[in-house]
Amino acid sequence: MNLIQSSLRAVKYVAAFLIATVTASAFGEPTDTIRQYQFETAENGYRLVLKEVPIPVAGDNEVLVRVRAASLNRRDIYMLNDQYGPGGSAAGGIPLSDGAGEVIAVGDGVTRFAVGDRVTGIFFARWIDGPASPEILASARGGSPGGMLSEVIVTDENGLVAIPGHLSYEEAATLPCAAVTAWNALFTRGQLEPDDFVLLEGTGGVSVFGLIFSAAAGAKPIITSSRNEKLERATKLGAFGTANYRENPEWQKEVRELTGGVGVDQVLEVGGKDTLSKAVETLAFGGHIALIGGLTGFGGDLPVGSLMFINASASGIYVGSREDFEAMNAFISEHQIRPLVDRVFEFEDAADAFEHMNSGNFMGKIVIRL
């Protein structure tokens, strides 16, 4: 019996290795190497460098994923410029936290996935459920060995979720950071209800997902932008109201007027120090503000007295768990939601994708196809 088990295990590993090497080459002869981008130290932050490295091997409870698409977040620009958080050096790390692909090999003990399954990596590879911890927060992908801008990655099976059946790889690659952040802010923390007024700042990834999710849930999303053409597009995506903050510096008053003077029940606060106080002015009694980003810079004073007076609450949101991701995917499948992909770049043009993100001239998500 032991001999049979050993033989089966040997066959399994040989088959997995053959699948991995053939798939890794993708377009040519079988090879035992893959291409991946890494951060390399530059004069001001880092630069992207395309390297050829050995294909990883799936150990116990691990799977190999042939990445088919990856997407960018504002965090990736901060990381490229060495402006992200208190962490150590990203040199040698693989960029991008968000990616989707197919399982091409499995290690011993894997039960959640099989070869051929379509999967997306979760942002925090070790955040399965419950509250976060320092260990969990240290498992964020991007700028680390767990980054997704690589033809093949190896990861613990618990760090993946299945892709909703109606989504392409490019669409699924947009979900791990921005979508889960919006979901967590609105539903897990915000307890969104139908007919709630929701304020969304700008038309980046988190805000557009917030728009799509809140509209699907029967809420009344109000979104801001400096460009009327983006606001027109947002209206077609389900926006109840819009405000151009460039044309109207006192946009918070316009937002409140759109609610009939009642105020908004939910805010996805991604603007940072220049928008925080105005966002608080839009809040209804008992409203909730999700503190997410810092497009105008991190910082600013949270007006505690104002929040207390209207019995409002504020939550710091840093993405979410696999449990959040799976709940969101069920909602996406139920409502047949499709993410808004602004533009798809080819793998060799990854640097151009970063430049496009940095320009701010986009709506929704920017994707790189591998």
Residue 336 CA to residue 112 CA, distance in Å, equals 24
Residues 131, 107: contact at Cβ < 8 Å? no
Q: Tell whether 58 and 77 lie within a shared domain.
A: yes
Strands 283-291 and 160-162: unpaired
Q: For residue 204, count CB atoms less than 10 angstroms from its CB and return exposed for 0-12, middle for 13-18, buried for 19 or more.
A: buried
The 3-state DSSP class for residue 144 equals: strand
Q: How confident is the model at residue 312 (pLDDT cuts 50, 70, 90)?
A: confident
In a domain, 31, yes or no: yes
Strand 264-269 versus strand 197-200 pairing type: parallel
Do the domain assignments include residue 238? yes
Say if CB 219 and CB 197 are below 8 A apart: yes
Tokens, residue 273: 């120090």
CATH number of the domain that residue 152 is part of: 3.90.180.10
Residue 258: CB atoms within 10 Å: 19
Q: Is 52 exposed, middle or buried (0-12, 13-18, 19+ CB in 10 A)?
A: exposed
Give the pLDDT confidence of 249-282 residue by residue, as tens digits. 999 999 999 999 999 999 999 966 677 889 999 9
Q: Are residues 149 and 187 in the same domain?
A: no
Tens of pLDDT, residue by residue over 9-65, are: 443 444 444 444 444 444 345 669 999 999 999 988 999 999 999 999 999 999 999
pLDDT band at 85 (very low <50, low <70, confident <90, very high): low
How many domains does the chain contain in total? Answer: 2
pLDDT band at 306 (very low <50, low <70, confident <90, very high): confident
Closest CA to 151 of 64, 40, 24, 19: 24
Answer yes or no: do 130 and 204 share one domain: no
Domain assignment of residue 81, yes or no: yes
Half-sphere exposure of 222 (CA within 13 A, CB side): 28
Residue range(s) defining the domain that contains residue 222: 179-316
Q: What is the DSSP string of 206-217?
A: HHHHHHHHHHHT
The reply to whether 229 falls in a domain is yes
Q: Is the pTM of this model over 0.85?
A: yes
For residue 172, what pLDDT is reported?
98
Whether residues 237 and 277 share a domain: the answer is: yes
Distance CA 236, CA 41 (A): 43
Residue 83's pLDDT band, with cuts at 50, 70 and 90, is: confident
CATH classification of the domain holding 293: 3.40.50.720
Q: Give CA–CA dist 206/271, Å, rounded.
A: 11
- Could you tell me if 6 and 140 lie in one domain? yes
Lowest mean pLDDT: which of 157-161, 197-201, 302-306, 330-334?
Answer: 302-306
Q: Provide the pLDDT for residue 198.
A: 98
Q: Domain for residue 322, yes or no?
A: no
Q: Are 135 and 143 in contact (CB under 8 A)?
A: no
Q: Are residues 273 and 286 in the same domain?
A: yes
Task: Identify the band that residue 102 occupies on the pLDDT scale cut at 50, 70 and 90.
Answer: very high
Is the same domain home to 309 and 346?
A: no
DSSP reduced 3-state for 350: helix
86-90, 99-103, 343-347: least confidently modelled range: 86-90
φ, ψ dihedrals at 221, nearest 5°: -75, 140
**C-alpha span between 348 and 351 (Å, rounded):** 8
Examine the domain organization and report whether 121 and 248 are in the same domain. Answer: no
Residue that wins the pLDDT comparison between 22 and 305: 305
Residues 101 and 198 occupy one common structural domain: no
In a domain, 166, yes or no: yes
Q: Are residues 150 and 199 in the same domain?
A: no
**Least confident stretch, 66-75, 84-93, 258-267:** 84-93
To the nearest whole number, what is the mean pLDDT of the chain?
89
Phi-psi region of 95 (alpha: psi -120 to 50; beta: other; left: phi over 0): beta
Per the listing, tokens 């209207």 go with 310
Asked if residue 138 and residue 36 are part of one domain, the reply reads yes
In this structure, is residue 321 part of a structural domain? no
Q: Are residues 187 and 169 in the same domain?
A: no
